[in-house]
C-alpha cells in the first residue's frame, strides 16, 4: 500500500528562519513551505508586532516561559470548555483576501480531502494537517499485517451512491481501478443464525485494496495541496488578518481561512478559545457514539452457510446481539479467496461501546480481554453456535473508536463563518456515510471559493449553518448507507447507475 509520505506531491519541507527579538533571543521558528511542482517554493512570513483587535492578536505575546507558572491551555472539564467556547470574543477579519490565498485544513478524512481537492479545482491552495501515523483517511481505515499476510477494513466497510456529485467521484475511482462493486452476499443476521440477504440493488462499493488507498488517491493528481502528517494541531490563533496554527507550541504556518474537518473532544478543545464562538457552539452540540472493532483471523472458515439452501455470506448486520452489530469476511471481500486464513471484522453496538468505554489511547488489559470475549460470544450467538464452540482466532486486534459516528445532525452540507473565515465539514453534517462526508467537503470548498472571489467581505451573506437546529440521526450502528433499506423496509427504489 502506498503511503502519502512516498508521494512527492504530498510531501512537506520546512525552512529554518530565526525570529529576531530581544524577548526571544534563542527561539527558532519553522514555517512550512508549500511544495508545488509547478511554482517555486514559497515561504509564508509571519508578523509579530501588531497590536489591537482580536484579529491582530500576537500568538506569541505574553506567554510565560517559566515552567512554574505553566498551566494547560484547556481544562479537562467539558463544562469549563463549553463556558470558554460560548463566552469568547468573535474574531472579525477585515484584511483583504490576497490574490493567492491558502486554506489550512485540519483533518485528513474523506471530508477534509475532498475539500482540498475541490478547492484546487477552483485554483485555491491548501495544506491538510492529519494525525495519521500510517496514512490519511480517518475512518477509511485498512490494516495490513504483512508477515501473515492479513488484511482488514477496520473502519468504513462499504458505501453506496445516491448523489450525482458523489457519483462523479466514484466514477473516477472505478475508471482508475480503485473501487469495485461488492457482489458478495450481504444481509441481516438475527440471533440464532437466521440470515436474510439484501437484494443486489443498490450496488455496494468497496476499495479494491481496502478503504485507506482511496484517501491517498484523492490527492495523487493534485499540485496545489500540501499534506503534513502526523501532526496534531493544538492551537489556532488569529493574528494580523490570518490564522496561525501550531502543534504544542511549534508553528505550523499561517492561512487565510481554516477548515475543521474532524470532531470530538479534541476539536472542541481546539475551538474553545479560538475566537469562533458560533462555530464552537455548533460543534459542541454534536453527539458521537463509541464502537469497538475486533479484528480476528481464523485458520478455518466460519460456518456462514447456515442451511443447505443458503450461500455463505460475506457481510451481515447483526440483530439481537448486544455485543455485535456487524461482521464481515475481509478475505472474501477484498481478496476473493477461499483458501488460507479468514480475516474477519466485528463491530460492537453503540450501546455496548458506551457501556464499556475507556480512554481509547490506553485500553486496560482487563477491559480489552472482557470486550474481546464478549464480542466472540456474540458472534457465536449470532451464528447459532453452541457456547464455546467457535474456533479460537490465531490473531486478534482490538480497537475502540471513541468518537465513532454521529447520533444527531443539523442536516446541512457545511458550516461557514465569514467573519472568522473558518468552516466545518464532516459526514455528521448530513448523516454518517462516506457519501455525506464527500458532499460536505465539496460544499465547503465551493463556499470558501465563492467567498474568496468576492474579496472576503466581513458579511453575513456567506454565513452557513451557524444557527441550525439538530435532530436525531437514524441508521445502523456502523453508519448510514443511502439507498440501502433494512430487510423490513426494502422497496423497489431505482439505484443510481455508475459508469464502469
Q: Please give, one letter per residue, the 3-state secondary structure of 393-405.
A: CCEEEEEEECCCC
Of residues 489 and 68, more confidence is placed in 489
Predicted pLDDT of residue 273? 84
Give the chain's largest Cα–Cα span.
82
Residue predicted with more confidence, 413 or 23: 413
Match domain 144-214+289-404+477-489 to its CATH number in 3.30.565.10, 3.20.20.70, 3.90.660.10, 3.30.360.10: 3.90.660.10
Confidence band (pLDDT; 50, 70, 90) for 15? very low
Does pLDDT of 21 surpass 90?
no
Check residue 157 and give its pLDDT: 93
- 121-144 per-residue burial string, b: 16 or more CB within 10 A, e: under 16: eeebbbbbbbbbebbbbbbbbbbe
Q: In this predicted model, what pLDDT tens digit does every residue of 288-323 receive, in sequence order?
A: 999 999 999 999 999 887 665 566 899 999 999 999
Pairing label, strands 125-129, 225-228:
parallel
- Report the pLDDT value the prediction gives residue 486, as an integer from 0 to 100: 59
Q: What single-letter DSSP state applies at residue 6?
A: G
- Residue 281: pLDDT band with limits 50, 70, 90: very high
263-272 average pLDDT score? 84
- Is 4-60+75-136+219-287+408-469's fold the same as 144-214+289-404+477-489's? no
Confidence tier at 353 by pLDDT (50, 70, 90) = very high
Q: What does the pLDDT look like over 58-98, one tens digit per residue?
A: 554 444 444 433 333 323 333 433 444 456 799 999 999 99
Of 44-58, 211-225, 466-480, least confident by mean pLDDT is 44-58
- Contact yes or no for 236/258 (Cβ under 8 A): yes
pLDDT band per the 50, 70, 90 thresholds, residue 210: confident
Residues of the chain with pLDDT > 90, as a percent, come to 55
**Domain spans of the chain?**
4-60+75-136+219-287+408-469, 144-214+289-404+477-489
pTM: 0.79
pLDDT, tens only, 236-254: 999 989 999 998 889 999 9
| Whole-number Cα distances in Å, 129 to 65, 169, 259, 425, 483 | 27, 22, 10, 14, 33
Which pLDDT value is given to residue 20? 36
Alpha-carbon distances, residue 100 vs 13, 44, 96, 255 (angstroms): 20, 12, 11, 11
Once rounded to an integer, what is the mean pLDDT over residues 256-285?
A: 90
When the candidates are 1.10.3720.10, 2.60.120.680, 3.40.50.620, 3.50.50.60, the CATH number that belongs to 4-60+75-136+219-287+408-469 is: 3.50.50.60
pLDDT (tens digit per residue) in 462-473:
999 999 999 999
Task: Return the pLDDT at 87.
Answer: 62
User: How confident is the model at residue 77, as a pLDDT?
Assistant: 38
Amino acid at each position: 500500500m502506498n503511503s502519502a509520505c512516498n508521494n512527492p506531491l504530498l510531501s512537506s519541507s520546512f525552512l529554518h528562519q530565526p525570529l529576531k527579538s530581544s524577548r526571544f533571543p534563542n527561539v527558532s521558528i519553522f514555517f512550512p513551505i508549500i511544495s508545488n511542482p509547478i511554482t517555486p517554493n514559497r515561504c509564508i512570513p509571519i508578523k509579530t508586532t501588531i497590536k489591537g483587535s482580536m484579529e491582530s492578536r500576537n500568538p506569541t505575546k505574553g506567554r510565560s516561559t517559566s515552567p512554574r507558572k505553566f498551566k494547560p491551555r484547556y481544562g479537562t472539564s467539558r463544562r469549563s470548555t463549553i463556558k470558554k467556547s460560548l463566552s469568547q470574543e468573535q474574531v472579525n477579519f477585515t484584511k483583504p483576501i490576497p490574490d493567492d490565498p491558502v486554506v489550512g485544513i485540519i483533518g485528513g478524512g474523506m471530508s477534509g480531502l475532498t475539500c482540498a481537492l475541490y478547492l484546487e479545482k477552483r485554483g485555491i491552495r491548501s495544506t491538510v494537517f492529519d494525525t495519521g501515523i500510517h496514512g490519511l483517511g480517518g475512518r477509511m481505515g485498512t490494516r495490513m499485517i504483512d508477515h501473515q499476510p492479513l488484511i482488514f477494513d477496520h473502519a468504513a466497510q462499504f458505501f453506496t451512491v445516491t448523489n450525482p456529485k458523489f457519483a462523479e467521484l466514484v466514477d473516477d475511482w472505478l475508471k482508475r481501478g480503485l473501487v469495485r462493486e461488492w457482489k458478495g452476499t450481504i444481509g441481516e443476521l438475527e440471533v440464532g443464525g437466521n440470515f436474510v440477504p439484501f437484494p443486489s440493488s443498490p450496488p455496494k462499493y468497496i476499495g479494491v485494496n481496502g478503504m485507506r488507498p482511496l484517501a491517498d488517491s484523492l490527492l495523487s493528481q493534485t499540485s496545489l495541496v500540501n499534506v503534513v502528517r502526523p501532526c496534531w494541531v493544538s492551537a489556532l490563533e488569529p493574528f494580523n488578518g490570518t490564522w496561525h496554527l501550531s502543534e504544542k507550541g511549534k508553528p505550523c504556518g499561517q492561512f487565510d481561512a481554516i477548515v475543521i474537518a474532524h470532531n470530538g473532544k479534541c476539536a472542541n478543545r481546539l475551538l474553545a478559545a479560538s475566537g469562533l464562538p458560533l462555530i464552537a457552539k455548533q460543534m459542541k452540540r454534536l453527539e458521537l457514539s463509541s464502537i469497538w472493532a475486533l479484528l480476528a483471523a481464523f485458520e478455518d472458515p466460519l460456518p456462514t452457510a447456515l442451511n443447505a439452501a443458503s450461500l455463505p455470506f460475506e457481510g451481515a448486520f447483526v440483530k439481537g446481539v448486544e455485543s455485535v452489530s456487524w461482521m464481515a469476511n475481509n478475505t472474501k471481500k477484498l481478496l476473493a479467496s477461499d483458501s488460507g486464513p479468514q480475516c474477519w471484522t466485528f463491530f460492537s453496538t453503540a450501546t455496548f461501546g458506551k457501556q464499556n468505554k475507556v480512554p481509547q489511547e490506553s485500553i486496560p488489559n482487563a477491559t480489552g480481554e472482557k470486550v474481546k470475549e464478549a464480542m466472540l460470544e456474540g458472534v457465536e450467538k449470532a451464528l447459532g453456535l453452541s457456547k464455546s464452540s467457535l474456533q479460537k482466532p490465531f490473531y486478534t486486534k482490538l480497537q475502540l473508536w471513541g468518537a465513532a459516528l454521529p447520533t444527531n445532525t443539523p442536516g446541512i452540507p457545511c458550516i461557514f463563518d465569514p467573519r472568522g473565515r473558518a468552516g466545518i465539514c464532516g459526514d455528521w453534517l448530513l448523516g454518517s456515510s462516506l457519501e455525506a462526508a464527500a458532499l460536505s467537503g465539496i460544499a465547503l470548498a465551493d463556499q470558501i471559493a465563492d467567498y474568496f472571489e468576492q474579496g472576503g467581505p466581513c458579511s453575513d451573506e456567506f454565513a452557513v449553518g451557524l444557527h441550525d437546529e439538530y435532530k436525531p440521526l437514524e441508521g445502523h450502528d456502523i453508519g448510514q448507507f443511502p439507498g440501502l433499506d433494512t430487510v423490513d423496509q426494502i422497496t423497489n427504489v431505482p439505484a443510481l447507475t455508475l459508469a464502469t
